[in-house]
A and B are shown apart, each in its own frame.
Chain A
Amino acid sequence: MKVELRPRPFDPLLELGCYQAGLDERLPGQCGATAIFIGAMRDFNEGEAVRGMTLEHYPGMTERYLQQIVEAASRQWPLLDGLIIHRVGELQPNDPIVLVAVWSEHRAAAFAACRFIMEELKSKAPFWKREDTADGSRWVEHNTPA
């Protein structure tokens, strides 16, 4: 299980490829199912164009909380591995924000755990978005429900 915060842009598919190569060596032939979620920055929110965004976090607590989410998922489902990479700092539209990947023997656990990790992350992990619009910058007050 790996959790990482990244202060600079990252390529989720490249990250996934590298991680998968390590898994192929560690657990050859075992991962029948991989579920992934990639979240990226939109250029609109609540009816306004968004030019950029800053993602603030609580150093120490954020990493710890993400680790707890992955551990909670692996208590509920038989997971072989899990990965979360999340951006912090300044972002531009289209930049990936988050990658969640989950490996298991069968698809049900992978789908369910990937969904669980994302929903837990969105509703509880200490991150805060500030958007830059034509009228200046504003804190995002709540996430979209789904």
Chain B
Amino acid sequence: MIYVKYFASLRDRLGRAEDQLDTHSDLTVAGVWAALWPDKPLPPNTLAAVNMEYAELTQSVRDGDEVAFFPPVTGG
């Protein structure tokens, strides 16, 4: 199982904060998005993290990983 989280404006746009993806194939971060949202391209400027570390869209994801997608950050 891959645990997926969405934050801020992206979560609002998608209408949910979390997903779970039951998959046995090897996926990249981009592949996780495509599996969950086949009709929605990943919005430009979206950032991704795997297990709470920034990740490229090409990074591979393993069973049990937490993948997060979020818009550009605006703290401080």
Contacts and interface: CB of A to CB of B under 8 A. Distances in A.
Interface stretch (B2-10, B20-28, B32-40, B56-64): B2-10
A58 interface: yes
Interface stretch (A9-17, A18-26, A103-111, A116-124): A116-124
Contact size range, B: 10 to 19
Given A58-B5, A61-B52, A128 B73 contact: yes
A123 B73 contact: yes
Contact of B8 (A39, A97, A122, A139): A139
B68 A98 contact: no
A86 B73 CA distance: 14
A141 B75 CA distance: 11
Contacts of B74: 127-129, 139-143
Contact size range, A: 20 to 34
B74 to A, nearest CB: 4
B8 to A, nearest CB: 4
A3 interface: no
Interface of A: 39, 55-58, 60-61, 64, 86, 97-98, 118, 121-130, 139-143
Interface of B: 5, 7-9, 12, 49, 52-54, 68, 70-76
